């Protein structure tokens, strides 16, 4: 083949268009229709139980009643509060434990690779299976109580999953077990990226280990810390699989987070018009938060 | 820098403690999977950490080949759920990888689809529960409910962001000289992509595919909503296993859990080098 | 108190020996350059003085104090890294004051000393600028100031001028020298640039492949290299080194240079050195220390290339092992292909044992 001139910009643009087409179609498919449809039925009382096909939902029009209802829906707001509580406890604990482990793993030592592979396993366990693991562990006749009995010397038969507070604690333990390795993984990568020369220079100037950590290491890890926290906060807000298998949202509503609540009213009460309103409300709030966060990051 | 002995000892103690905590839940489930009925029913003082009489009965049970005197007829064995998980996760991975890799290349080399990065991150931002009703209705309309291909499609869409971001950072990292050289020789850009770039990207492609596969295999909520009987995946099937006569069937569920959990853990350890890149959408590389 | 003594220093990294038994004494207040090509062990030596590496064998003493077991933060040395290691997430002021702040000095003292060092290094205007994005020249000053403000008795610099642009290098050389004189610090300066070492140092320690080749004043090293390596390394271009055999002729002792012919008669000092040779020798002379002579006298060598740099002319003579260079301060009427007849200044001749490479001395 004789050497020809390089392909022109037109050919590149056309190829680029064709390459991105499948992804664009899929994204459109999953965003446009769902959004419009949710918008539509959120303004109605529609439910699949109504006997109407959804395009005829306008017959059950209620304008913004769903939206005002959700503002006074106590169950919704407690679910939200519970979710925020779980986030407020789990994310910092995971962060601190992950950071501690990362610091311990910063140097080389025998067995490092093997131990590292083991420590990152929890985050790769199927979350539903992890839920089941902890369900078994926290049975009143199960290993956790067995361990506690052995340590304290007294027989411990706490009914973890039947007690409202303890069930929430158990759920948090499961979350921390599963996701601390994620923090560990990301923070270790960030820690290793801190320029060693600067750390040495600081040492030569007389800074001790704590001073070096606070004035050099942490500031240089700032971007990574923000990323790790953002990822974990977003995922923790969505928490469902593990929790649902462990407690089903119970006892009662003691461990009902926002995802569990929405699941229940979707599949049990089937008030889909209302659910659509909640979904859109969440969408709006999160989008605003996203834009605000991006503006702050750009500065 | 050398550290004092006390610190080294402290480090080992803490790490070993962490390792123990990491392994206990997994080992407990593995242990339960191999226990015979009386052992996994045991509570309190009768509890044993390791099976005294290890047995494969639980595995036989879930595959319908049990010889025990458990008088429970299973609606269905674990075979179909395993098949469903495999098919939906694999094909879902295929969809995500094809769409994601192409788009990533398009953006990396030609700057097309500049809206995709943001759009795809937003996809991951919102709780899945918030968008599942329209999806359920679309799927019902398309007759995709309770099918493995319906699951595969939604899996492909939901993990597209990861495939896209991973491959985009890999493409960005790849030097363009080789492609440029081929272009000067007269190759069309499409040929360059097929014959030169992709073969060079075998390892990153494999890592990205495994990463996406792990995510798809691990799904519970979407399968819970979109499958009912025929094509439930392993997690959904596992949650539904119960018997009015013998309670919660711990042993069988543990066996199933083990089957479900082992592939992703093994795959994850294999691709651990790229985990940071995948989990942070390429913001960080290991 | 700030004299440095290295005794029997050895450093091994696994199977590789980076430094082989080094003995060196740096006097209090002296500017000592560690000079050598990459991999010669000069940076390793300096890292051990600073405490960043531990010696495999041997001792390091500051004054009379053995530094074994003294951690690197406690040695009171200033250190400037090759790439400066500036804290890019801090301002210039925060960089300069870092050591003082970590040491818990009172705020007023920190401000005063930081200001003083900033003025000295002309960084006054930049104090509150973020360190990131500043030019290399400024960063270099900040790196020096950051260590200098601690008023260390010993200052270690690891090739600090290698990233600085050429024009600025000359300025910085003078400034560093002045700084050292002013504070009377003992300064150890690692470099691979022999011009830098020659112009700045009180004494130079020349190293190669982990072995100390020669220690002495710049002029000593230049005029009396201890071996072939030093002879070649010092000077630009390096010393001419021609293989030959000592020979007694009717005219007097000479060195038979093979195809080139006989060298001019050796002066008494060099003749005495030649007599101590056990075999073949290497006949050395600096390119600047030759004069042209009428044909029939001196050495005859073909001109292969003429290099003109401004007023200087460098003649490239012969080729390969029998090649040499001659440097003249003005134009010489010779062109490539013609024969050059040269005689080195007799007192400038240096002879080396061809087998060991060691310089031969008369006494």
Q: Which of A190, A207, A195, A204 is nearest to C85 (CA)?
A: A195
Q: Is the pLDDT of residue B246 over 80?
A: no
Cα distance between residue B47 and residue B31, in whole Å: 12
What band does A6 get if pLDDT is binned at 50, 70 and 90? low
In contact, A245 and A67? CB cutoff 8 Å: no
CA dist., res. B218 & res. B232, Å (int) = 13
Distance (Å, rounded) from C-alpha A129 to C-alpha B203?
Answer: 29
pLDDT at C260 over 80: no
SS3 call for C194: helix
Of the candidate ranges A36-45, B68-77, C53-62, C176-185, the one whose mean pLDDT is the lowest: B68-77
Lowest mean pLDDT segment, chosen from A19-23, A100-104, C70-74: C70-74
Query: β-pairing, C31-35 with C186-191?
Result: parallel
**CB atoms closer than 10 angstroms to residue B168:** 23
Helix H or strand E encompassing C146: helix C136-148
The mean pLDDT value for C233-244 works out to: 87
Q: Residue C76 in contact with residue C244, Cβ under 8 Å?
A: no
Please tell me the predicted confidence (pLDDT) of residue C98: 94
Residue C280: predicted pLDDT: 87
Q: What is the pLDDT of residues C316-341, one digit of tens each?
A: 888 777 788 888 887 777 888 888 88
Compute the distance between CA of residue A30 and CA of residue C311 in angstroms, rounded to an integer: 78
pLDDT of residue B243: 57
The reply to whether A223 touches chain C by the CB within 8 Å rule is no
Residue C60 pLDDT exceeds 80: yes
Query: H or E element: which one contains C191?
Result: strand C186-191
Which member of B23, B43, B125 has the closest CB to residue A286?
B125
Express each pLDDT in A254-295 by its tens digit. Answer: 899 999 999 999 998 888 889 999 988 988 888 888 888 878
Given a contact cutoff of 8 angstroms between Cβ atoms, the answer to whether C317 and C326 are in contact is yes
Gap between the Cα atoms of B177 and B160, Å rounded = 28
Which residue of chain A is at minimal alpha-carbon distance from B121? A290
Residue A140's pLDDT is 83
Query: Average of pLDDT values for C213-227?
Result: 92
Does the distance separating the beta carbons of C72 and A204 come in below 8 Å? yes
Q: Residue C104 region, left (φ>0) first, then alpha (ψ -120 to 50), else beta?
A: left
Residue C121 has pLDDT above 90, yes or no: no
Between residues B71 and B225, which one has the greater pLDDT?
B225
Structural domains for chain A: 66-269 (1.10.3720.10)
Domains of chain C: 4-223 (3.40.50.300), 230-360 (2.40.50.140)
Contacts of C280 (CB under 8 A, 6+ apart): C243, C244, C245, C354, C355
Question: Side-chain half-sphere of B49: how many Cα atoms within 13 Å?
Answer: 10
d(CA A61, CA A42): 9
- pLDDT of residue C268 exceeding 70, the answer is yes
End-to-end CA gap in chain A: 52
Residue whose structure tokens are 């910085």: C172
Task: Please list the residues that pair with C11 across neighbouring strands.
Answer: C19
Hey, are the CB atoms on A20 and B186 less than 8 Å from each other? no
Between CA C119 and CA C145 the distance in angstroms is 10
Indicate the average pLDDT of chain C. Answer: 87
**DSSP, residue by residue, A152-215:** HSS-----GGGSHHHHHHHHHHHHHHHHHHHHHHHHHHHHHTS-HHHHHHHHHTT--HHHHIII
A132–B183 CB contact, under 8 Å:
no
The C-alpha atoms of residue B235 and residue C282 are separated, in whole angstroms, by 84
Q: CA-to-CA distance for B53 and B95, rounded, in angstroms?
A: 45
ipTM: 0.87
B-chain CB neighbours of A118 within 8 Å are 19, 22-23
- Sheet of C290-292: strands edge to edge? C290-292, C339-344, C299-309, C312-317, C324-328
Residue that has been written with the tokens 């925060």 in this structure: C94
Half-sphere exposure of residue C36: CA atoms within 13 angstroms, side-chain side: 23
Q: What is the pLDDT of residue C230?
A: 92
> What are the start-end ranges of the E strands in chain A?
none
Interface test with chain A among B279, B281, B285, B286, by most A beta carbons within 10 Å: B279
Is the sign of the CA dihedral A43, A49, A50, A56 positive or negative? positive
pLDDT at A2: 44
Nearest CA in chain C to A201: C85
For chain B, the average pLDDT equals 85
Dihedral sign, Cα of residue C148, residue C150, residue C156, residue C159: negative
d(CA C97, CA C64) in angstroms, rounded, equals 30
Q: How far is CA C141 from CA C86, C119, C122, C125, C180, in A?
A: 10, 11, 8, 13, 14
Q: Which residues of A touch C148 (CB under 8 A)?
A: none
Q: What Rg value do the Cα atoms of chain B yield, rounded?
A: 23
User: For chain B, what's the residue count?
Assistant: 286
| pLDDT value at residue B71 | 46
CB contact under 8 A, A263 and B284: no
**Token output for A254:** 């003691």
The helix (H) or strand (E) run that includes residue A249 is none
For residue A204 the two structure tokens come to 């030569």
Question: Three-state DSSP class for C80?
Answer: strand
Quote the DSSP letter at residue A265.
I
Please tell me the distance in Å from A265's CA to the nearest CA on chain B.
11
Q: What is the mean pLDDT of chain A?
A: 88
A210 lies within 8 A of chain C by CB: no
How do beta strands C4-13 and C16-26 pair? Answer: antiparallel
CA distance C141 to C110: 18
SS (H, E, C) chain B: CCCCHHHHHHHHHHHHHHHHHHHHHHHHHHHHHCCCHHHHHCCHHHCCCCCCCCCCHHHHHHCCCCCCCCCCCCCCCCHHHHHHHHHHHHHHHHHHHHHHHHHHHHHHHHCCCCCHHHHHHHHHHCCHHHHHHHHHHHHHHCCCCCCHHHHHHHHHHHHHHHHHHHHHHHHHHCCCHHHHHHHHCCCCHHHHHHHHHHHHCHHHHHHHHHHHHHHHHCCCHHHHHHCCCCCCCHHHHHHHCCECCCECCHHHHHHHHHHHHHHHHHHHHHCHHHHHHHHCCCCCCC
Average pLDDT over residues A93-118: 92
Please give, rounded to a whole number of angstroms, the shortest distance from the CA of A230 to a CA of chain C. Answer: 22
The residue behind tokens 């001073």 is A211
pLDDT score at A7: 61
Q: State the residue for tokens 């600047």.
A: C288
- Residue B1 banded pLDDT, cuts 50, 70, 90: very low
Measured CA distances, C316 to C236, C255, C291, C302, C338 (Å): 13, 21, 15, 9, 12
Task: Report how far residue C137's alpha carbon sits from residue C114's, in angstroms, rounded to the nearest whole number.
Answer: 19
Lowest pLDDT segment from A143-157, B21-35, B209-223 = A143-157
Instruction: Mark yes or no for CB contact C73/A208 under 8 Å.
Output: yes
- The pLDDT score that the predictor gives to residue A135 is 92
pLDDT at residue B244, rounded to an integer: 54
Q: Helix, strand, or coil here: A217?
A: helix
Separation between Cα atoms, residue A135 and residue A121, nearest integer Å: 19
CA gap A189, A177 in Å, rounded: 20
Nearest to C73 among A206, A215, A216 (CB): A206
Residue C107 banded pLDDT, cuts 50, 70, 90? very high
Q: How many CB atoms lie within 10 A of CB C3?
A: 17
pLDDT at B162: 92
Cβ-Cβ contacts under 8 Å, B268 against chain A = 120-121, 123-124
A69-73, A127-131, A178-182: range with lowest mean pLDDT? A69-73
Question: What backbone torsions phi and psi does residue C297 show, to the nearest 5 degrees?
Answer: -105, 165
Beta bridge partners of C246: C255
- Does residue A54 carry a pLDDT above 80? no
What's the whole-number mean pLDDT along residues B20-49?
A: 84
Of C86, C90, C102, the CB nearest to A205: C102
| pTM summary value | 0.85
Say if residues B281 and B121 touch (Cβ distance below 8 Å): yes
Phi, psi of C306 (to 5 degrees): -115, 125
Average pLDDT on A3-20 reads 74
What is the pLDDT at residue A299? 61
Confidence of residue A240 (pLDDT cuts 50, 70, 90): very high
- In terms of Cα–Cα distance, which of C138, C136, C160, C156 is closest to C148? C156
pLDDT of residue B50: 82
**CB count in 10 Å sphere of residue B31:** 19
The whole-angstrom separation of Cα A38 and Cα A30 is 12
Strands C186-191 and C154-158: parallel
Neighboring chain B residues of A133 at a CB cutoff of 8 Å: 25-26, 28-29, 257
d(CA C155, CA A204) in angstroms, rounded, equals 11
Quick one: pLDDT at residue C147? Answer: 92
Smallest Cβ–Cβ distance between C85 and the set A201, A208, A211 belongs to A201
Do C214 and C33 meet the contact criterion of CB atoms below 8 Å apart? no
pLDDT at position C301: 84
């Amino acid at each position: 083949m004789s050497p020809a001139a390089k392909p022109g910009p037109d050919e590149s643009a056309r190829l680029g268009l064709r390459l991105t087409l499948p992804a664009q179609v899929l994204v459109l498919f999953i965003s446009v229709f769902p959004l419009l449809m949710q918008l539509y039925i959120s303004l109605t009382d529609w439910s699949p139980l109504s006997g109407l096909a959804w395009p005829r939902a306008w017959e059950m029009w209620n304008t913004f009643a769903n939206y005002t209802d959700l503002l006074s829906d106590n169950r919704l707001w407690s679910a939200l509060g519970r979710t925020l509580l779980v986030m407020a406890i789990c994310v910092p604990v995971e962060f601190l434990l992950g950071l501690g482990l990362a610091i311990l793993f910063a140097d080389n030592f025998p067995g490092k690779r093997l131990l590292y592979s083991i420590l990152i396993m929890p985050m790769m366990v199927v979350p539903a299976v992890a839920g089941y693991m902890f369900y078994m562990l926290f049975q009143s006749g199960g290993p956790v109580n067995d361990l506690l009995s052995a340590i304290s010397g007294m027989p411990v038969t706490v009914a973890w999953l039947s007690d409202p507070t303890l069930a929430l604690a158990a759920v948090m333990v499961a979350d921390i077990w599963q996701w601390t390795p994620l923090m560990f993984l990301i923070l270790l990568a960030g820690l290793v990226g801190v320029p060693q020369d600067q750390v040495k220079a600081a040492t030569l100037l007389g800074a001790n280990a704590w001073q070096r950590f606070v004035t050099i290491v942490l500031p240089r890890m700032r971007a990574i810390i923000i990323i790790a926290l953002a990822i974990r906060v977003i995922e923790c807000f969505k928490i469902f699989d593990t929790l649902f298998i462990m407690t089903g949202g119970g006892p009662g509503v003691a461990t009902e987070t926002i995802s569990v609540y929405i699941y229940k009213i979707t599949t049990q009460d089937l008030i889909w018009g209302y659910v659509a309103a909640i979904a859109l409300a969440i969408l709006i709030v999160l989008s605003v938060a996203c834009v605000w966060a991006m503006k702050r990051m750009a500065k | 820098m050398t550290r004092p002995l006390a610190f080294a000892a402290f480090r080992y103690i803490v790490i070993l403690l962490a390792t123990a905590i990491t392994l206990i839940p997994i080992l407990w489930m593995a242990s339960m999977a191999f226990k015979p009925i009386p052992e996994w029913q045991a509570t309190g003082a009768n509890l044993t950490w390791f099976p005294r009489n290890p047995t494969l009965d639980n595995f036989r049970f879930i595959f319908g080949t049990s010889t025990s005197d458990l008088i429970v007829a299973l609606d269905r064995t674990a075979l179909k759920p395993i098949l469903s998980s495999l098919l939906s996760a694999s094909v879902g991975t295929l969809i995500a990888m094809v769409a994601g890799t192409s788009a990533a290349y398009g953006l990396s080399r030609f700057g097309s689809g500049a809206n995709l990065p943001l759009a795809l991150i937003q996809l991951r931002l919102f709780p899945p529960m918030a968008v599942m009703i329209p999806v359920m209705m679309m799927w019902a309309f398309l007759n995709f409910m309770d099918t493995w291909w319906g699951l595969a499609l939604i899996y492909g869409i939901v993990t597209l962001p990861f495939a896209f971001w991973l491959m985009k950072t890999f493409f960005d990292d790849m030097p363009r000289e080789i492609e440029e050289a081929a272009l000067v020789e007269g190759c069309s850009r499409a040929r360059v992509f097929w014959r030169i770039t992709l073969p060079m990207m075998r390892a990153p492609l494999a890592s990205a595919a495994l990463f996406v596969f792990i995510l798809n295999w691990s799904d519970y909520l979407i399968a819970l909503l979109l499958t009912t009987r025929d094509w439930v995946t392993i997690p959904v099937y596992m949650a539904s296993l119960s018997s009015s006569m013998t309670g919660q069937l711990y042993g069988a569920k543990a066996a199933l859990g083990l089957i479900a959990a082992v592939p992703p853990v093994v795959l994850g350890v294999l691709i651990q080098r790229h985990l940071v890149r995948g989990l942070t959408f390429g913001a960080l590389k290991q | 108190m700030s004299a440095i003594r290295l005794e029997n220093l050895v450093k091994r990294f696994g199977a590789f020996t980076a430094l082989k038994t080094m003995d060196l004494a740096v006097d209090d207040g002296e500017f000592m350059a560690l000079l050598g090509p990459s991999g010669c062990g000069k940076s390793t030596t300096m890292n051990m003085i600073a405490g960043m590496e531990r010696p495999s064998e041997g001792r390091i003493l500051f004054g009379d104090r053995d530094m074994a077991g003294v951690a690197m933060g406690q040695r009171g040395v200033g250190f400037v890294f090759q790439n400066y290691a500036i804290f890019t997430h801090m301002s210039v002021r925060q960089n300069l004051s870092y050591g003082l702040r970590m040491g818990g000095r009172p705020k007023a003292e920190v401000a005063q000393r930081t200001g003083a060092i900033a003025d000295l290094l002309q960084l006054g205007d930049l104090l509150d600028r973020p360190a990131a994005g500043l030019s290399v020249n400024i960063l270099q000053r900040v790196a020096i100031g950051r260590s200098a403000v601690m008023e260390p008795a010993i200052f270690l610099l690891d090739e600090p001028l290698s990233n600085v642009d050429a024009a600025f290098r000359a300025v910085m050389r003078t400034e560093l020298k002045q700084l050292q004189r002013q504070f009377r610090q003992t300064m150890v300066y690692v470099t691979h640039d022999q011009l830098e070492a020659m112009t700045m140092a009180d004494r130079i320690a020349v190293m190669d492949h982990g072995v100390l080749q020669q220690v002495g004043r710049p002029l000593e090293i230049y005029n009396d290299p201890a071996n072939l390596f030093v002879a070649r390394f010092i000077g630009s271009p390096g010393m001419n080194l021609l293989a030959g055999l000592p020979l007694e002729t009717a005219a007097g002792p000479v060195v038979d240079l093979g195809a080139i012919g006989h060298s001019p008669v050796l002066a008494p000092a060099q003749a005495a050195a030649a007599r101590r040779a056990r075999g073949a020798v290497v006949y050395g002379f600096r390119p600047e220390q030759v004069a042209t002579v009428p044909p029939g006298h001196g050495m005859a060598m073909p001109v292969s290339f003429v290099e003109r740099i401004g007023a200087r002319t460098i003649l490239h003579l012969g080729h390969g092992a029998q090649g040499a260079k001659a440097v003249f301060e003005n134009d010489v009427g010779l062109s490539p292909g013609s024969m050059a007849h040269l005689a080195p200044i007799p007192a400038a001749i240096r002879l080396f044992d061809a087998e060991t490479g060691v310089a031969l001395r008369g006494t």
